[in-house]
Structure 1
Amino acid sequence: MSTYEIFASLIKVGMKVTVEVTIFSAVLALALGFISGLARMSKYKVIRVISSVYIEIFRGTSLLVQLFWIYFALPIVGIRFSAVSTGVLAIGLNYGAYCSEIVRSAIQAVPTGQTEACIALNMTRAQRMRRVIIPQAFAMMIPNLGNQLIELLKSTSLVSMITLTDLTYQANILNATTFETTKVYSMLLIIYFLIGLPLSKGMKLLERIVSEGRV
């Protein structure tokens, strides 16, 4: 099999799955990150405890084990997810826990003077967060969130362990049939790099746009 044919096979079969899992799990991770990050600072103890338990469990255990648990263990108690849903759910929950700490730390990094000024203007807590605190914190979150999204993309290779035919799965099949290990996995490295490059550049562009005009 020629180099071109190997490359074409990887693109044709595996790219769609990898991109889909990356996009949907990233959306879930960002949503959970903001929700749980804000929940960590709630005035209600029960909300803080629930958020903390979620974060500690998913940061403190292996993503691979989480994938196996959702895909192989939950069906024992009657809860079943497809391989794609399992990949999205496990990766989204795992990276959502890391994103939540980025959100929380960025919000807490906003100078207290901003909050005091909002209180002086008689803003409610929700108005302070929506109009003043979060817009400033968001600019500080972007670099770290960008790093997490790149890591998330690379983690999608683990879904090959639950039978999803992503790029890594297809590379393993090609390697087993062609025995051209160097060529196959070099192509795989290049493809992951090409997928991640626009994501990295996009986050840097977003950072410049959001930070424009800020000191």
Structure 2
Amino acid sequence: MIQYIQEILPALLSGTKMTLSIFFWTLICSIPLGALIGLGLIQRFKPLTWLLNFYVWIMRGTPLLLQLIFVFYGLPIIHIVFQRYDAALFAFILNYTAYFGEIFRGGFQSVPKGQFESAKVLRLTYSQTIRKIVIPQVFKIVLPSIGNEVINLVKDSSLVYVIGLGDLLRAGNVATARDVTLLPLILVGIIYLALTAVCTIVLKLIEKRENVWR
């Protein structure tokens, strides 16, 4: 068994590298974009809020799997073509930006209005108020919710196999079908558990650090 594990481990680790790449770039792009969407959702300019609410509704109301299939297989019909990796990343960023946008919207709305009034007294501009006063408070408020989405993202990354990307789950499925054994899928499960455990520990450390400053 040890020898078999050594044989399939390189393929699983290669798949893990793809999984981590999707995970990393989705987080890097979708969290800042989500903050902007959340800020847009609380504006008084109705056309903007209607448009953003429609976007969030579409992204949250349809499965990520369907969005992946639509981006990779559907958009070429109107001559918008993505490579497999780019299609996966685009779909993931669109989806998670919507979820983070709703999380940040709740965070922004929980900041007392007196904070904005105090900033006006101090003659801070709107951008300075958001950047120096509101964002630090919102980050502490939304951190637990963002943590939940981060854990979900680790697991959702397995969906990229439907468009033929060689991620961790696909590597496990290939080995299972070829060798007629469940051991590769058990190893895949262990790797996913390890990834979520690392994310959980890091998030708890960040939350602990932020609690110091409350």
**TM-score band (shorter)?**
over 0.9
Q: Where do residues 142-181 of structure 1 align in structure 2 (5 Å cutoff)?
A: 142-181=143-182
Residues 59-110 of structure 1, C-alpha deviations (whole Å, 9 max, x = no match): 1111111001000011111100011111111111111111111101011112
* Alignment-derived partner of residue 7 in structure 1: 9
Aligned residues of 1:87 and 1:159 also touching (Cα < 8 A): yes
Aligned residues of 2:42 and 2:109 also touching (Cα < 8 A): no
Structure 1: stretches of 5+ with no match in the other structure: none
Identical-residue share of aligned pairs (%): 33
* Alignment-derived partner of residue 67 in structure 1: 68
Tell me the distance in 2 between the aligned counterparts of 1:16 and 1:137.
32
Tell me the distance in 2 between the aligned counterparts of 1:31 and 1:80.
26
* Alignment-derived partner of residue 91 in structure 1: 92
1:37 aligns with 2:38: yes
Residues 95-146 of structure 1, C-alpha deviations (whole Å, 9 max, x = no match): 1111111101011112233233223333333222222111111111111111
Shift of 1:28: 2.2
Residues 131-173 of structure 1, C-alpha deviations (whole Å, 9 max, x = no match): 2111111111111111101101111101001000100111110
Tell me the distance in 1 between the aligned counterparts of 2:156 and 2:213.
35
After TM superposition, the score normalised by the length of structure 1 is 0.92
Tell me the distance in 1 between the aligned counterparts of 2:190 and 2:9.
10
70-79 vs 107-116, greater mean Cα deviation: 107-116
Residues 175-208 of structure 1, C-alpha deviations (whole Å, 9 max, x = no match): 0011111x12110011112222222222222222
Aligned residues of 1:28 and 1:93 also touching (Cα < 8 A): no
Tell me the distance in 2 between the aligned counterparts of 1:124 and 1:37.
19
- Count of paired positions: 212
List 4+ stretches of structure 1 deviating above 6 A.
Answer: none
* Alignment-derived partner of residue 203 in structure 1: 203
Residues 34-79 of structure 1, C-alpha deviations (whole Å, 9 max, x = no match): 1111111123222212211111110111111100100001111110
Structure 2: stretches of 5+ with no match in the other structure: none
After TM superposition, the score normalised by the length of structure 2 is 0.92
Tell me the distance in 1 between the aligned counterparts of 2:92 and 2:57.
15
- Aligned residue identity for 1:2: Y
- Aligned residue identity for 1:48: T
Tell me the distance in 1 between the aligned counterparts of 2:113 and 2:78.
48
